[in-house]
Amino acid sequence: MVALFPLKSVIIIIIIIMATVEDVLESVTQSQASKYKTIEVQKDIEPQLDLGNLLTVDQNPLDLKKLRGDKEAYLKSQARDNTQLLFNAIWKLPTERVEEAICVKLPETTTVLPREKPIPKAKLQTKWEQYALLKGIQKRKKGRMVWDEEAKDWRPRWGYKRANDETKDWVIEVPGNADPNEDQFEKRMKAKKERVAKNELQRLRNIARGTKSKVPGVGLTPTEKPSKEEVGLALHLAKKSTASLGKFTEKLPKEKEAKHVGKKRKFEPAIGDFKKEKEQQLNIINVMENKKPKMDITKAVNRVMTEVDQEASSDDRRKRAGKVKNRRGPPRKKGSGGFGKKGSGGFGKKGKAGKGKGAKGMGGKGKGMGGKGKGKGKGR
């Protein structure tokens, strides 16, 4: 069939085919472009980017119509757009190649994240720091090295080979008032050791204060002038500080037992002297009874209260009785108070009394009068 076509028509067909090829190519690129979305994203409000945290915050309101339609697709597209924006920003940062990989150094974070762990507690002040704060004593920076006049050299202020080390003196002048047989070198060494020990104890005390635990090893602390009790305790401890816990430590002929020393608790035997036990218990009861106050105040107050009560009630009775007897002179103080009882009491008699009063009480107070009026009515 093709052979039958004239040449001209063949050329035309070819041209048409060429045109369709171009069309197809164009349409393909277009479809590809629509498939791979552009890297440009349009947003009404610029999303906030925190590159340090790789975070995008999009404050644009969501399109409710689309959200109600295909929710998943809409949200996905939103996420894609925002991620695209983030990556656009990342690509704008200066890049470098490290072993065939393109790397970017992220800037400092701008979003403040809450910390995972609680804020560490402030270190507890030592006793000296507290005191210094109270007195306003400032810390002064002291150089580590000090000039040693004798050695003509700079030496550390403290520690090994320190400057002006008084324990290293090769000769010491014996003070005028000192015992000539006393070893002045040893005295200095001892004083130094005491100072170190004291400092160590204070350090431990500060720690103990911070952790609220007991100060370890508080038996005897170095003191300038130990009191009588401290000396006694020191003696007691020294005596007990043997392998046999002082069992064989010799005693002075009239030595007293150390005071304030722990006592071992001791119990009576379960089956012992029953008579003695009974006596002791009765003794305790006697002592308890003697300790009791002679006058029980609450009891006394109660008694007075009862007496007052009884008097009041008997007075009431007398008054009531009096009222019935001499009707003419009733005290006109109780208005409604007296009335309640009267109402509930016998009607006939009081009605009569009420009659008399009613006539008299016309000029009285409203309440009292009304009450009596009622009584009168009932009586009739």
Partner 1 sequence: MRPLTEDETRTFFEKLSKYIGENIRLLIDRPDGTYCFRLHKDRVYYVSEHIMKRAANVSRENLISMGTCFGKFTKTGKFRLHITALDFLAPYAKYKIWVKPGAEQTFLYGNHILKSGLGRITESTSQYQGVVVYSMSDIPLGFGVAAKSTQECRRTDPMSIVCFHQADIGEYIRAEDTLT
Q: What residues line the site for partner 1 (CB under 8 A)?
A: 265, 267-272, 274, 277-278, 280-282, 284-285, 288-289, 296, 298-299, 302-303, 305-306, 309
The least distance separating partner 1 from the CB of residue 275, rounded to whole angstroms, comes to 9
- Cβ closer to partner 1: 23 or 277? 277
Beta bridge partners of 49: 56
Q: How far is CA 270 from CA 95, 100, 108, 280, in A?
A: 91, 91, 80, 15
Residue 202, exposed/middle/buried by CB under 10 A (0-12, 13-18, 19+)?
middle
Shortest distance, CB of residue 262 to partner 1, whole angstroms? 17
CB of 256 to partner 1, least distance (A): 24
Shortest distance in whole angstroms from residue 341 CB to partner 1: 18
**112 vs 270 by CB, closer to partner 1:** 270
> How far is the C-alpha of 301 from the C-alpha of 98, rounded, in Å?
98
Instruction: Tell me how far, at minimum, the Cβ of 274 lies from partner 1, in Å.
Output: 5
Whole-number minimum distance, CB 233 to partner 1, in Å?
26
Taking the complex as a whole, how short is the minimal distance between the CB of residue 376 and partner 1, in angstroms? 34
Nearest CB to partner 1, comparing residues 28 and 304: 304
Which lies closer to partner 1 via its Cβ, residue 265 or residue 380? 265
CB of 300 to partner 1, least distance (A): 10
- CB of 77 or CB of 280, closer to partner 1: 280
Rounded to the nearest 5°, which phi and psi values hold at 121? -75, 150
Give the residue with the Cβ less far from partner 1, 44 or 289: 289
Q: Of 64 and 297, which has the nearer Cβ to partner 1?
A: 297
CB-nearer residue toward partner 1: 243 or 271: 271
Distances (CA, A) of 152 to 62, 147, 163, 247: 82, 7, 10, 58
